[in-house]
Amino acid sequence: MPILGLALGHGLASTLGHAARWAGAGLLIATGTASYISVLERGYALHELTFALLFLLILAIPFRRRQRWAWWAAWIPMIGNLGYTFTFGIHDHAILTCSLIADIALPALLLAHIPALLPPSPPP
């Protein structure tokens, strides 16, 4: 019996030793991962800012002049909106709610502007 006890004790000690080493490595991995995610978030924020400014530039000048190409170009952010919804929104209810607002609001607002883009009808 003592041999069996020694084997179990050694196995348990070995397991605990491995667990302690993995816990230390996990802390290093977690720190590196957190740093990477921070860099990723900053890059993502710059990406979003770039496209938001481009979208506002399209809306501020040609869309207000009722140029049809600007109306069509205003649909392009829907690719990003839907991508965000299906990538992040499906994992978090709060993100899904916010992303659905953009998914619904942009098409509704663009469709509401169709009459402004149509040529005026001739008088009877």
* Whether the predicted pLDDT of 4 surpasses 50: no
- In whole numbers, what is the pLDDT of the chain averaged over residues? 76
Rounded CA separation 95/91 (Å):
8
Average pLDDT over residues 17-38: 62
State the average pLDDT over residues 91-108. 89
51 has a pLDDT exceeding 50: yes
- What mean pLDDT is predicted for residues 49-55? 84
pLDDT digits (tens, 9 = 90+) for 66-92: 888 888 888 888 888 888 888 888 888
Percent of the chain with pLDDT over 70: 75
Of residues 62 and 47, more confidently modeled: 62
39 or 26: which carries more pLDDT confidence? Answer: 39
Q: What is the mean pLDDT of residues 96-107?
A: 90
> Which residue did the predictor score with more confidence, 107 or 39?
107
